[in-house]
Amino acid sequence: METIQGSEPRLPAPDKPYPVTVLGYPAEMIGPTATYAKVSEQVAGIPLKHPNPKFWFIGFTIAFSLFLMLCGAVSYLIYRGVGIWGINIPVAWGFAITNFVWWIGIGHAGTFISAILLLLHQKWRTTINRFTEAMTLFAVMCAGLFPLLHLGRPWVFFWLLPYPDTMSLWPQFRSPLVWDVFAVSTYFLVSLMFWYLGVMPDLATVRDKAKTKWKKIIYGMCCMGWRGSAVHWQRHQTAYLLLGGLATPLVLSVHSVVSFDFSVAQLPGWHSTLFPPYFVAGAIYSGFAMVLNLLIPIRRIYGLQNLITTRTLNNMACVTLATCWMVVYGYIMEAFTAWYSGDPFEKHMMWDRAFGAYGWVFWILMLLNCVIPQLLWSRRVRTHDIALFFVALSANIGMWIERFVIVVQSLHNDFVPSSWAMYIPTKWDWITLFGSIGLFLMLQFLFIRYVPMISISESRELIAQRKEGQL
């Protein structure tokens, strides 16, 4: 079969409902019947016509209830202080930092898909990048909440920022915690600009498809009066590519900076040069798992299988498996360096991790993060959306437990046995965790309700390329 460079041949498969590549992988990036008008109608139709309102209202109600619980928990936290959590000395970080690291890791998949895969010309990212970028924004919002709440006095959070204040004080720029402030806020702002730049032309499509005056006005304002001029597109595309190029080192730097919070400290289990790459791999791993968890139900409910094809799911599952092995390598090297260092504190930490008070958590982590994702070696699991959903769920929970083990287990058994203590989460810890999931899902529901969740203009590009035989 003749192919054009960068494309794969498409062969009919007798036993599968989709055409495949030579190696038997699903070949379609976009459904065979898609046209410009149909894609516009289908994607812009979701915010305009609001199909499946029952699903949306039930889902939104659950998410909103969880969000209200978060509001309650945060109010009580501000009233009483961080003592309502299970934190103590030595485990001062507890759930708050676990959740922070977990959420910010989830955000990484969005930028990975939209920036790194853009530069690598991975066209299958086209139909999922908008959704995952939005997921990044919401995950970073949830992440940013936790260090602020953990400050103890969240109302003076602006002391973290450099500004000439009346006390003549400045942030300590040599501290990784201050680097974090810059890394996370830069990450949020750059992701937001990247996302908005991408969504602007699609909001113009919604404006032009809208039937009522108010929808036209509101979407028209949101798209800034975009009219698709070629000169505008040229600047838009240049900026989009440049932002992709800028976001690429950024996404690798953000979780590295987060890992410095740990690895710059002297604590056994934290003080390791392995941390930055290990954290970044874990971040992309959990991020892809979260994308799968969100996209699989949504693609079914809104009937988007022709845009988010089996091939896309298969590719995401492959990235998940690859990053899973990077994480496994991280676990192995952690144990190895602890043993090889000959340092008694390091060796004790590793022994305690596997067989100490939190040992059972560690073995659940091994099961969820290392064993279950091996199912992804099977092509049948990768192309079966329900199986894939549960594997991704296992990876997501596994990654949360990993963050918990790193934060809590390392802290609870430090150098001096007299200072050892257990950390037991209180109900407020749990409410805040599930409340943040509610906040995340609530924003996600609002996004799919009001914003086109698939990049329409980029899908049109795919269709044009297929017409020219370049796909």
Contact flag: residue 35 with another protein (CB under 8 A): yes
Of positions 32, 83, 228, 344, contacts another protein by CB under 8 A:
228
Contact flag: residue 119 with another protein (CB under 8 A): no
User: What is residue 20's three-state secondary structure?
Assistant: strand
C-alpha 43/C-alpha 427 separation (Å) is 41
Min dist. Cβ of residue 404 to another protein (A): 26
Of positions 33, 168, 266, 418, contacts another protein by CB under 8 A:
168
**Omega cis (within 30) before 47:** no
Of positions 78, 224, 386, 424, contacts another protein by CB under 8 A:
224
Contact flag: residue 88 with another protein (CB under 8 A): no
User: Looking at 81-89, 142-150, 151-159, 250-258, which segment touches another protein (CB under 8 A)?
Assistant: 250-258
Min dist. Cβ of residue 162 to another protein (A): 6
Is-contact 335 350, C-beta < 8 A? yes
User: Looking at 71-79, 187-195, 313-321, 380-388, which segment touches another protein (CB under 8 A)?
Assistant: 187-195
Contact flag: residue 171 with another protein (CB under 8 A): yes
Min dist. Cβ of residue 250 to another protein (A): 5
Of positions 55, 64, 157, 233, contacts another protein by CB under 8 A:
233
Q: Which of 231/416 has CB closer to another protein?
A: 231
Contact flag: residue 460 with another protein (CB under 8 A): yes
**Omega cis (within 30) before 162:** no
Of positions 136, 205, 320, 323, contacts another protein by CB under 8 A:
205
**Contact string 254-273 vs another protein (x = CB under 8 A):** ---x--x-------------
Backbone angles phi, psi at 183, to 5 degrees: -65, -45
Backbone angles phi, psi at 11, to 5 degrees: -120, 145
C-alpha 393/C-alpha 398 separation (Å) is 8
Q: Which of 171/297 has CB closer to another protein?
A: 171
C-alpha 180/C-alpha 147 separation (Å) is 10
Angle CA 129–130–132, to nearest 5: 65
Of positions 174, 211, 213, 380, contacts another protein by CB under 8 A:
174
Q: Which of 50/227 has CB closer to another protein?
A: 227
β-pair partners for 26 = 20
Contact flag: residue 23 with another protein (CB under 8 A): no
What is the signed CA dihedral for 438, 440, 443, 449, rounded to 10 degrees? -80
Contact flag: residue 189 with another protein (CB under 8 A): yes
181's tokens: 């402030």
Of positions 19, 45, 154, 220, contacts another protein by CB under 8 A:
220
Q: In b/e form, how buried is each residue of 407-433, taking b as 16+ CB within 10 angstroms?
A: bbbbbbbbeeeeebeebebeebbebbb
The site for another protein, by CB under 8 A, has a size of 64
Min dist. Cβ of residue 453 to another protein (A): 17
Going by C-beta distance under 8 Å and a sequence separation of 6 or more, which residues neighbour residue 238?
none
Q: Which of 249, 398, 406 is nearest to 324 (CA)?
A: 398
Contact flag: residue 50 with another protein (CB under 8 A): no
Angle CA 409–412–417, to nearest 5: 135
C-alpha 72/C-alpha 435 separation (Å) is 9
Contact flag: residue 335 with another protein (CB under 8 A): no
81: Cα within 13 Å, side-chain hemisphere: 4
Angle CA 432–435–437, to nearest 5: 115
C-alpha 407/C-alpha 87 separation (Å) is 11
Q: Which of 272/409 has CB closer to another protein?
A: 272
Of positions 10, 150, 207, 403, contacts another protein by CB under 8 A:
207
Q: Which of 187/288 has CB closer to another protein?
A: 187
DSSP character string of 61-104: HHHHHHHHHHHHHHHHHHHH-GGGSS--SS--SHHHHHHHHHHH
Contact flag: residue 464 with another protein (CB under 8 A): yes
Q: Which of 52/237 has CB closer to another protein?
A: 237
Contact flag: residue 112 with another protein (CB under 8 A): no
C-alpha 65/C-alpha 134 separation (Å) is 21
Min dist. Cβ of residue 31 to another protein (A): 16
Of positions 25, 64, 76, 182, contacts another protein by CB under 8 A:
182
Of positions 150, 209, 382, 403, contacts another protein by CB under 8 A:
209
Q: Which of 364, 363, 361, 369 is nearest to 289 (CA)?
A: 369
Of positions 236, 255, 348, 403, contacts another protein by CB under 8 A:
236
Residues of this chain that interact with another protein (CB under 8 A) are 35-37, 40, 162, 168-176, 178-179, 182-183, 186, 189-190, 193-194, 196-197, 201, 204-205, 207-209, 220-221, 224-239, 242-243, 246-247, 249-250, 253, 257, 260, 457-458, 460-461, 464, 467
